[in-house]
Amino acid sequence: DVKVTQSSRYLVKRTGEKVFLECVQDMDHENMFWYRQDPGLGLRLIYFSYDVKMKEKGDIPEGYSVSREKKERFSLILESASTNQTSMYLCASKRGGDADSAFFGQGTRLTVV
Amino acid sequence: GQQLNQSPQSMFIQEGEDVSMNCTSSSIFNTWLWYKQDPGEGPVLLIALYKAGELTSNGRLTAQFGITRKDSFLNISASIPSDVGIYFCAGQTSGSRLTFGEGTQLTVNP
């Protein structure tokens, strides 16, 4: 089975802190994604990566950056956390191509105070 | 970006009832996926649809990929309390990027 692991289930950070959310997948998937989930808004794509060192902006990239130095790891970085970044963050990975599905990690609930 | 309209937003049903939810889009998708999310967890894939017109079942779940490639539905038959959760549709075009619906919150009363 595919395993996508996010480093933390819950995080509490202060406004202005630099925050790293880590995601690791063990199935050699080319594509990895970061979403945030907010009530009534569904899942919104922040950034995705289709290969090592490659990244593309999603629908809401402002205030975030990403890093993919190794195929199995995709990091989401909040350069200076703000309270409006309090949310559930979900990482996903999938093989390249249309005929494969995305698999999600368990999520990180981030609270910025 | 592309948008998916998922309905209904929420459903309150009695155990044993059947459930139907759907997603529509103004864009064409190559793949439709349905996920379920339990509270505090990440979404889990239920059904994947890869061809227009495809009808696929997974136990009590049935989903169809619309002929126009712009819509999909999910049916749950004979609901049980553990069906409670948020159900998401997702559409994929070439390039692997997924677009998600807003979710349907399902509550099943015993």
Q: Quick one: pLDDT band at residue A95, thresholds 50, 70, 90?
A: confident
Q: Taking CA A8 as the corner, what is the angle to CA A106 and CA A110, rounded to the nearest 5 degrees?
A: 90
Does A104 contact B44 at a Cβ distance shorter than 8 Å? Answer: yes
Cβ(B54)–Cβ(B69) below 8 Å: no
Judge whether B65 is closer than 8 Å to chain A, CB to CB: no
Q: What pLDDT score does B1 carry?
A: 57
Residue A97 vs residue B92, higher pLDDT? B92
Chain A residues closer than 8 Å to B45 by CB = 101-103
- Which among B9, B45, B102 has CB closest to A101? B45
B91 conformational bin, left if phi > 0, alpha if psi -120 to 50, beta if neither: beta
User: What is the Cα–Cα distance from A28 to A16, expressed in whole angstroms?
Assistant: 34
Q: Is B66 on the interface with A (CB under 8 A)?
A: no
Q: What pLDDT score was predicted for residue B2?
A: 63
Does residue B61 surpass a pLDDT of 60?
Answer: yes
**For position B108, what pLDDT does the model report?**
96
Chain A residue closest in CA terms to B102:
A42
Mutation target for B interface from A43, A51, A54, A88: give the one with most B CBs within 10 A.
Answer: A43
- Residue A102 is predicted with a pLDDT of 87
Better pLDDT: B60 or B93: B60
Question: How far away is chain B from the Cα of A40, in angstroms, using its nearest Cα?
Answer: 6
Q: A32-81: per-residue pLDDT in tens?
A: 999 999 988 889 999 999 999 999 999 999 999 999 999 999 999 999 99
Mean pLDDT taken over chain A? 93
Predicted pLDDT of residue A1: 67
pLDDT at A2: 65
B50 interfacial to chain A (CB closer than 8 Å): yes
CA distance A18 to chain B (A): 24
Could you give the CA distance from residue B66 to residue A74 in angstroms, rounded to a whole number? 34
Which candidate from A31, A40, A107 shows the least CB-CB separation from B42? A107
Tell which residue, B59, B61, B51, has the closest CA to residue B87.
B61
Q: Taking residues A6-31, what's their average pLDDT?
A: 95
The phi, psi pair for A95, rounded to 5°, reads -70, 160
- Output the six-digit token pair for A97: 């191509």
Cβ within 8 Å, pair B50-A98: yes
Mean pLDDT of A18-37: 95
Per-residue model confidence as pLDDT tens digits over B6-53: 999 999 999 999 999 999 999 999 999 999 999 888 999 999 999 999
Rounded-to-integer distance, Cα A9 and Cα B34, Å: 24
List chain A residues with CB under 8 Å of B56.
none
pLDDT average, residue stretch B81-104 = 89
Tally Cβ neighbours within 10 Å of residue A98. 13
